[in-house]
Amino acid sequence: MKPTLMTASNAHIVFAGGGTWGHLFPGLAVARRLAEWLPDARITFAGTGKSRERRQAIAAGFPYIALPASPVPSRASETWRFLSHNVAGYFAAKKFLRDEPASLVVGLGGFASAAVVQAAIARQVPTVLLEQNALPGRATRWYASSASLLCAAFDDVRQHLGPRTPVLVTGNPVRPEFDAIYRRGGETETERDPQAPRRLVILGGSNGASTLNEVVPRTLHMLRLRLRNWTIVHQTGRHGRNKTAERYEKLQLPAEVVSFVDDMAGLLGEADLVIGRAGGTTLAELAMAGVPAVLVPYPHATGDHQLRNARAMARHRACRIVDQRNPGSHLDQRLAVALDDLLSNDALRGRMAGQIRSLAKPHAAEDVARAVCSLVGIDPRRAAA
């Protein structure tokens, strides 16, 4: 259905999804840009109802509604719950879109977006999908052929979609706090005082990474002589903090161990090296901050998309990859090999920082917002004026 020309005052844009920070934060970045351009438009977030997700949306100034949703089950015993939740979510989404007509729906990916995106397509509401990874997820693959536009973080997604799928490679929108970090550009490693402490950050993603929580302290103990001028910040996820802190204490390695990082831009803006997973949003934030990284892709990610993300970055020498599934040696030993020269060689880290910064897409949120404006019939040039 061709969108009807309208003004910002009667536009209603719905962001569907969340579930993880990697899906939610790009949506919030786009929504904030739209709110700046179209202060009279209504913007609503629809998600799974997780308290942290609700809090983030409301703190950003957007109404939030919860709809039933469940991920694709890994066990047969979960099939009924999956079917009942998602059917209920679909009918709830249809009712919401009937009662609160939307001008456009932005699907943020993941199972949490499926009900609203499907209902929007059924009602012929223009739909934009955001895809954060090099390999499109299930929700993207299911609905891409019916969407008005797919905004992708990686050009690699094209080869996995039908030739008629409209794809715009925008990069992955990041939180606005990263804009200042990117503009600042960061001083190069060679310009810094060689005696100033360096900062190593370990990131496990919004839910943490139990493997990193267990392995990284042992790895850093092997490299303790390299770490004399380094501080360590380790983000564990909600359930891993106490055990991880105990591991560092037992190994007599000073480390700041936290469950969650509220100010990720501030942390990465002061980081010199990161060990982390390879989710699309994490990589976009690393690029904006210009931080070199050793990536340990999550091996159970759907379609192995984290490894594909990491390889897309590694092609530009912007990171190193340690695949935790590789046989032949222990993960802690292979991780130590990947870190060894990076901890001691400022110039090497500086070159990698420049490579990863060159991959940043600082206008991603703006580009997606412009596409949304165009699809709802609002001149994006006038909107941005």
Q: How far is CA 370 from CA 83, 155, 353, in A?
A: 36, 19, 30
Q: How many helices (H) and strands (E) does the chain have?
A: 15, 13
Between CA 217 and CA 201 the distance in angstroms is 12
CA 179-148-365 angle, to 5 degrees, is 5
Query: What is the average per-residue pLDDT within 147-159?
Result: 95
CA dihedral of 145, 149, 151, 156, whole degrees rounded to 10:
40
Q: Which residues contact 136 (CB under 8 A, 6 or more apart)?
A: 144, 150, 152, 157, 160, 161
- Given pLDDT bands bounded at 50, 70 and 90, which one contains residue 190? very low
Of residues 150 and 83, the one with the higher pLDDT is 150
Tokens matching residue 267:
């942390």
Share of the chain above pLDDT 70, in %: 92
**CB count, 10 Å around CB of 346?**
17
Query: What is the average per-residue pLDDT within 195-212?
Result: 88
- Given pLDDT bands bounded at 50, 70 and 90, which one contains residue 309? very high
Q: Which of 307, 368, 339, 24 is nearest to 156 (CA)?
A: 307
310's enclosing H/E stretch is helix 305-314
What are the b/e assignments for 100-110, b being 16+ CB within 10 Å? Answer: eebbbbbbbbb
- Given pLDDT bands bounded at 50, 70 and 90, which one contains residue 2? very low
pLDDT in tens, 121-141: 999 999 999 999 999 998 999
pLDDT in tens, 27-68: 999 999 999 999 999 999 999 888 888 999 999 999 999 998
Percentages helix, strand, coil for the chain (3-state, rounded to 5) are 50, 15, 35
Q: Is 127 helix (H, G, I), strand (E, B) or coil?
A: strand
